[in-house]
Amino acid sequence: MTTTTHVLGYPRIGKQRELKFALEKYWRSEIDQDALQAVGSALRENSWQTQSELSFVAAGDFAWYDHVLTTSLLLGHVPKRHRQGEIDLDTLFRIGRGKSQCSCAGFAASDMTKWFNTNYHYIVPEFSADDEFSLAWPQLFEEVKQALDLGHKVKPVLLGPLSYLYLGKEVEPSFERLSLLPRLLPVYQQILTKLHQLGVTWVQTDEPILALDLDARWLDAFKPAYQAIDCGLKILLTTYFDAIDSVFERIVELNVDGIHIDLSAAEHPLPALVKALPEHWVLSAGVVNGRNVWRANLNEKLAQLGDIKALLGERLWIASSCSLLHSPVDLELERDLTPETRSWFAFAKQKVAEVALLGRALDGDEAAIHACHQYSQPIIERGSAEHVNKPNVQQRVNRISAAMAERSAPYSERAAHQAEVLKLPLLPTTTIGSFPQTGEIRLQRSAYRSGKLSQADYQQAIKGHIQDAVARQEALDLDVLVHGEAERNDMVEYFAEHLAGFQTTQFGWVQSYGSRCVKPAIVVADIEREQPITVEWSRYAQSLTAKKMKGMLTGPVTILCWTFPREDISRQTITEQLALALRDEVADLQQAGIEIIQIDEPAIREGLPLKVSQHQAYLDWAVRAFKIAAGSAAPQTQIHTHMCYSEFNEIIESVAALDADVITIETSRSNMELLQAFEEFNYPNAIGPGVYDIHSPNIPQVEWIEGLVEKAARKIPLQRLWVNPDCGLKTRTWPETEAALTNLVLAAKSLRRKYAQSA
């Protein structure tokens, strides 16, 4: 009874981010399309070679930009503004980037949003009532044929029709995208038929929306949809990121041949699911966590699945929980990790080996069973290690009281204190925190890390950049200044490098979208702050000016969401440890004379669980963590926070519960429409709605900024409004930054005069 083993997908970027660099060379016209295709072909071959010890290799999981966008081209579904002749690779890049590699003009890129609750982004399909679909992009079939020609047994990966529609958006009123399903299904039928003709026996059809709280219309559409695409090919219906037991009775009615469930993201009542499984179906158990870096406890997995294997025999498959797209590629590249730390991790390549080993052990292979026991020991041993589970940190978390999550005075009293101490004008101007990370800064940081620049020389260089940033802001006449964050590589990684309990990597890159990659730190132990992190830089910056200087911190929830968390303690506990560390930093900044402190929480909404029923519990502890971090601030210390694009209607009560003195949000793209949630809720504290989009090189005109502020003033009392960009300026150039901020300050001053005359 050989156990079938597979993964749901593999990273595309390559061990050394080969895809990233090839894409960027192509976009700069430094290589042609043939050279780009050669890189993609080699990456796929390497991926399949890694997976060759499994029963299947995954094909169709490769994407030049994003797999949802690839699906759009496969279905011939291109936004009207990008329809220029036949669909080709350049079409894909125009949709994703808003630019064209050919001589024709580019058009606005399609929207991009987070892939469920991960840090991967996908290009949002755009749907209109007159949309038609056709089999138009051969990439899937070419890749399947490439894998077959290399002698691999192939399982194609295909985003399912319901999830494809659900993940898109309507671009015209009075129309529901679900109505397009009858037009879409014949193309899926063609795709499956063509795959069958190529000799494929199984196809992985991803329907991750089944883990959401779907309304009845969407759930009801599954049964007829899968009845309509029957072509004799066996379908593994694939779900991930959360439990599906609440809809399992609907799933077992579908015309498919098996179900994949994610056993890492949530508990499933396995015995009950197995009992309800149709007799001919396979159950693919996603027991190796595809979206974290921790080595699996294979002893535990064997115990979990032993009885299920006895019941199902060959109908039990073993797999990664989701695509390994969300994992770094290869742990073997990490030469600087200690042997102990290295023994805790498994990146994508190692997770493939875990799946294969577990499959052999479930088949009764004694050598594999012994290997599972040996492999699991480092994870078992770290469970009782005091340098991982620190009594002092745990005791402090256990002593958290309700009073620690409250400021010592209500907002109305704090606002009065702050007005007296800070003496800021009406419509105070500031920025979100970062200033341009110039090539010079990056070279100096690289030289310091490689040992070519001494610590003293590096610190002196950073001081020079801070001096420059402060001088530029004073020349601009901004009201509240920032030090510019020249010393920070990333808003999360910087804090991870300075807090005990984190491990950073050299090559732990994960694709975010297109050529954009991120390198999350890893929470490896209980977190504590052993010494101040930002205080000396902020103190130095404040010494250069008589104006108020903002201290800049990344909030506990954002640090959690943008790192790989531990799996042996809860996300809430990790966040509480972070909150206590940041609470100490706030106290020390305040002691150093910093009277305004910003604690950024751009990720607070994206941390929401997939199930709506679990939202409030998450928001309760997320808000509490922020308030613990800010709770050491005296009434006269002004606490700011910043949030990126969010559907504030869903979380406005929790945003208000943060009780930040000032919240800055991104509103320029929506022409201040996002402020409606704050107006309807009657948000009580101060707000800085972003008055220009920092993601664009366009310089906002004074009149444009004035108009946006006046529009905001119709929703929020003037006395509680700030004027600022909508995000940090790290990615912009200094000429763009100074030109935009000049107009921002001019607009604020003009409005002050206007309102003073009318008072």
Which residues belong to the annotated binding site for L-methionine? Answer: 432-434, 485, 600
Is-catalytic flag, 695?
Answer: yes
Going along 247-359, which residue ranges are E strands? 258-262, 282-288, 316-320
Rounded Cα distance, 426 and 430, in Å: 12
Q: Which residues are annotated as a binding site?
A: 17-20, 114, 119, 432-434, 485, 516-517, 562, 600, 606, 642, 644, 666, 727
**Candidates 280, 370, 465, 695; catalytic one:** 695
Do residues 10 and 50 touch, judged by C-beta distance below 8 A?
Answer: yes
Q: Which residues are annotated as a binding site for Zn(2+)?
A: 642, 644, 666, 727
Do residues 458 and 448 touch, judged by C-beta distance below 8 A?
Answer: yes
DSSP secondary structure letters along 227-263: HHT--S-EEEEE--SS--GGGHHHHTTSS-SEEEEET
Q: Which two tokens stand for residue 607?
A: 């941390």
Residue whose C-alpha is closest to residue 285's, from 343, 183, 359, 342? 359
Rounded Cα distance, 477 and 465, in Å: 18
Rounded Cα distance, 17 and 517, in Å: 8
Residue whose C-alpha is closest to residue 117's, from 626, 642, 557, 640? 557
Do residues 18 and 46 touch, judged by C-beta distance below 8 A?
Answer: no
Quote the radius of gyration of the chain (alpha carbons, Å).
Answer: 27
Do residues 8 and 202 touch, judged by C-beta distance below 8 A?
Answer: no
What phi and psi values does residue 617 have, to the nearest 5 degrees? -60, -45
- Residue 514 CA: distances (Å) to CA of 62, 72, 81, 96, 121: 11, 15, 21, 8, 9
Do residues 590 and 639 touch, judged by C-beta distance below 8 A?
Answer: no
Rounded Cα distance, 607 and 497, in Å: 22
User: Which active-site residues does the annotation give?
Assistant: 695
